């Protein structure tokens, strides 16, 4: 793309040719390599970073760093930036990419416009509703107002179908903001709701709504006893309005809560002596691991059998969705103090390590974990001690696996740089044919240098935010290693795009 843009400036192009004849560097190849590295760096960042506080970095630093990276990739590799949407990156970065694409629509080349639109629409439809609605609202906050953005917002609202009434109740302010910003004609947008949708959102409330949910909300708005059939988050606001004590509210609303909401409120419900029965089977593997880690050690020991069963079942369930078989696998898992994460991402790195442990156990024929500080039972693991990766990796190599997966934030300190040196000697002297492949999964984005902290240049480092994404991430590792070319990466992204577009059914 850099060369293509040069063509319109003959002097600059001539300059390029001049240099190329003088210096015997293959510039095309070098450019390709730079592009490949940039992209890998960006995808890795998008796999991990959520702009939240980490153990070593504050939230502001993470946000600034990631924002710069987005702008840099958007400016230089727009098409690939857009295709990253299909690379299995996290929701936070998906919304960032969509926002930035919509804000700079004029820069899209004509031949890529259709693909970009399709990708944005498909991603938006696959996002969890709260994130999608927030994204559409952010379009207004960022002052983005163009035909494409309006069309995308309108299409999202129209395709909600019969769920629109529910969304209108749950995301009232967002939908109202979106309707105002995009000049939506709410009377025609949904035939079932008719003019009631507009009346509901803009407070032209009649004596009685025909739509049951709107009527429920209207009654709940005026009467404290009528809030318990509403979605939890809606009822929560009304409960404050009606001065309902938290304990009583939580007891009565329990039936309306989702598994995620119950998980979120476990601790705070305990404070007001309310008990929320959580059904852990509904949680994803990483969330379940984080839930287990949030329990006291005594409780973990008491319920050890039950919790272990749950984690194993969850791992098998994950594998059923994404079939993934491995041979003899060793895992080097970092449980150092820094795996305690931050106040915003409590114990996340350790939770991912624990979830990866159960996932690999289920996916491989032979499996052996090596923790940085030995732990008798993985269930009672706590963030503790220094990061000593050299001893576990030596033990893992001695066990002779086919694959070693390392889960660590990369801040090695016992001794610093020991892993890189050990691996350099190991790869040059003892295993030059690379019989054991090693992959480093890093759950933490390092804001200072826009990358994930690497352990060694000989080991590919890939971002991992949810243990469930491990199969995708392991596939991506060959690009992080630098052996695959840019063309291969482009093909890989294109295939992911095809897969995403094919699997998304826009007619909800």
Which residues would be at the binding site for another protein (CB under 8 A)?
55-56, 336-338, 373, 384-387, 390-391, 394, 397-398, 413-418, 421-422, 424-426, 428-430
Q: With residue 478 as reference, give the H or E element that holds it.
A: helix 470-480
We find the least distance from the C-beta atom of residue 452 to another protein, in angstroms, to be: 18
Q: Is the dihedral of CA 344, 346, 352, 355 positive or negative?
A: negative
| Smallest distance from another protein to CB 68, Å | 22
The H helix count followed by the E strand count for the chain is 26, 7
Among candidate residues 407, 381, 412, 383, the one with its CA nearest the CA of residue 396? 407
- Least distance (Å) between residue 340 CB and another protein: 10
270 contacts: CB under 8 Å, gap ≥ 6: none
What sign does the CA torsion over 195, 200, 202, 207 have? positive
CA angle 368, 371, 372 (to 5 degrees): 145
- For residues 386 and 413, the answer to whether their CB atoms sit within 8 Å is yes
Q: How far is the CB of 111 from another protein (least distance, A)?
A: 48
Residue 396 Cβ, how far from another protein at the closest point, in Å? 11
**Which backbone phi and psi does 87 adopt, to 5 degrees?**
-85, 10
Residue 6: Cβ-neighbour burial (10 angstroms; 0-12, 13-18, 19+): middle
- Encode burial over 197-214: b for 16+ CB neighbours within 10 A, e otherwise: bbbbbeeebeeebebebb
**Residue 162 vs 421, nearer CB to another protein:** 421
Is 360:326 a contact under the CB 8 Å cutoff?
yes
**Cβ–Cβ under 8 Å, residues 445 and 49:** yes
Identify which of residues 229 and 386 has a Cβ nearer to another protein in the complex: 386
Based on its alpha-carbon atoms, the radius of gyration of the chain, rounded to whole angstroms, reads 26
Alpha carbons within 13 A on the beta-carbon side of 116: 25
Shortest reach from residue 65's CB to another protein, in Å: 18
How far apart CA 52 and CA 58 sit, in angstroms, is 7
Helix (H) or strand (E) holding 369: strand 364-371
* Helix, strand, coil tally for the chain in percent (to 5): 65, 5, 30
In angstroms, give the least distance from the CB of 373 to another protein: 6
Nearest Cα residue to 496 out of 141, 157, 90, 89: 89
CB of 412 vs another protein, minimal distance in Å: 10
| Minimum distance of another protein from residue 480's CB (angstroms) | 24
The answer to whether the beta carbons of residues 82 and 123 sit under 8 Å apart is no
Which of 217, 371 has the CB closer to another protein?
371
Buried b / exposed e over 251-261, threshold 16 CB at 10 Å, is eebbebbeeeb
- Whichever of 58 and 402 has its CB closer to another protein, that residue is 58
C-beta closer to another protein: residue 457 or 491: 457
Q: CB of 413: closest distance to another protein in angstroms? A: 5
Q: Write down the least CB distance from residue 337 to another protein, Å.
A: 4
């Amino acid at each position: 793309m850099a060369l293509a843009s040069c063509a319109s400036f003959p002097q600059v192009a001539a300059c390029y040719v001049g240099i190329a004849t003088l210096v015997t560097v293959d510039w095309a190849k070098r450019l390709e390599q730079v592009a490949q590295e940039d992209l890998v760096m960006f995808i890795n960042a998008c796999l991990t970073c959520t702009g939240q506080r980490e153990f070593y970095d504050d939230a502001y630093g993470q946000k600034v760093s990631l924002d710069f990276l987005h702008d840099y990739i958007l400016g230089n590799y727009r098409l690939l930036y857009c295709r990253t949407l299909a690379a299995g990156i996290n929701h936070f970065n998906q919304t960032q990419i969509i926002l930035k694409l919509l804000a700079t629509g004029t820069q899209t080349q004509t031949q890529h416009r259709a693909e970009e639109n399709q990708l944005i629409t498909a991603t938006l439809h696959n996002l969890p509703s709260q994130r999608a609605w927030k994204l559409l609202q952010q379009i207004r906050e960022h002052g983005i107002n163009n035909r494409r953005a309006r069309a995308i917002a309108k299409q999202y609202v129209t395709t909600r179908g019969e769920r629109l009434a529910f969304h209108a109740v749950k995301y009232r302010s967002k939908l109202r903001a979106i309707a105002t910003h995009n000049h939506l004609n709410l009377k025609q947008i949904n035939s079932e709701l008719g003019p009631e949708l507009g009346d509901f959102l803009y407070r032209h409330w009649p004596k009685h709504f025909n739509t049951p949910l709107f009527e429920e909300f209207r009654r709940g708005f005026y009467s404290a006893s009528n809030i318990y059939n509403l979605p939890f988050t809606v009822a929560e606001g009304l409960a404050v309005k009606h001065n309902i004590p938290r304990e009583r509210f939580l007891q009565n609303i329990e039936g309306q809560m989702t598994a995620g909401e119950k998980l979120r409120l476990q601790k705070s419900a305990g404070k007001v002596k309310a008990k929320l029965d959580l059904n852990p089977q509904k949680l994803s593997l990483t969330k379940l691991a984080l839930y287990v880690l949030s329990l006291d050690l005594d409780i973990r020991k008491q319920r050890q059998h039950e919790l272990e069963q749950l984690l194993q079942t969850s791992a098998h369930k994950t594998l059923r969705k994404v079939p993934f078989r491995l041979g003899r696998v060793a895992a080097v898992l970092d449980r150092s103090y820094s795996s305690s994460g931050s106040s915003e991402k409590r114990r996340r790195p350790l939770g991912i390590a624990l979830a990866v442990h159960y996932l690999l156990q289920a996916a491989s024929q032979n499996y052996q974990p090596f923790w940085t500080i030995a732990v008798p039972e993985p269930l009672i693991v706590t963030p503790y001690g220094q990061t000593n990766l050299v001893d576990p990796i030596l033990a893992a190599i001695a066990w002779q696996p086919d694959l070693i997966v390392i889960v660590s934030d990369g801040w090695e300190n016992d001794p610093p740089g020991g892993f890189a040196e050990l691996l350099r000697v190991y790869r040059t002297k003892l295993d030059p044919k690379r019989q054991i492949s090693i992959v480093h999964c890093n759950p933490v984005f390092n804001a200072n240098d826009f990358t994930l902290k690497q352990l060694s240049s000989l080991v590919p480092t890939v971002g991992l935010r949810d243990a469930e994404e491990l199969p995708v991430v392991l596939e991506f590792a060959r690009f992080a290693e630098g052996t695959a070319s840019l063309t291969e990466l482009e093909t890989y992204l294109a295939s992911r795009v095809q897969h995403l577009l094919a699997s998304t059914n826009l007619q909800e």
